[in-house]
Amino acid sequence: MTNDTMTRRVYPRLTDVVWWALRKQFQRTMPATVTQNYMATVLKLNAGTARSVITNLQYMGLLDDDAHPTALANAWRDDNSYPQACKQMFAAIYPDELKDIAPPPDVDRGTVQTWFMRELATGSESARQLAALYVLLAVADPSGPTPKTTKTSSSEPRPATKPRAAAPRARASKAEVTHAARPAVALPTPQIAVQVNIDPSMSPEQIDQVFRSMAEHLYGRTE
User: To the nearest whole percent, how much of the chain has pLDDT over 70?
Assistant: 62
Q: What is the pLDDT of residues 46-66, one digit of tens each?
A: 999 999 999 999 999 999 999
Average pLDDT, the chain: 78
Q: Confirm if 86 and 137 have CB atoms less than 8 A apart.
A: yes
The pLDDT value recorded for residue 84 is 97
DSSP letter string, 80-100: TTHHHHHHHHHHHHS-HHHHH
| Lowest-pLDDT range of 76-85, 140-149, 183-192, 211-220 | 183-192
Q: pTM here?
A: 0.61
Domain ranges of the chain: 3-139
CA distance 60 to 87: 12
Mean pLDDT of 129-147: 88
The predicted-structure confidence for 186-220, as pLDDT tens digits, reads as follows 555 555 555 666 666 666 666 667 667 766 666 55
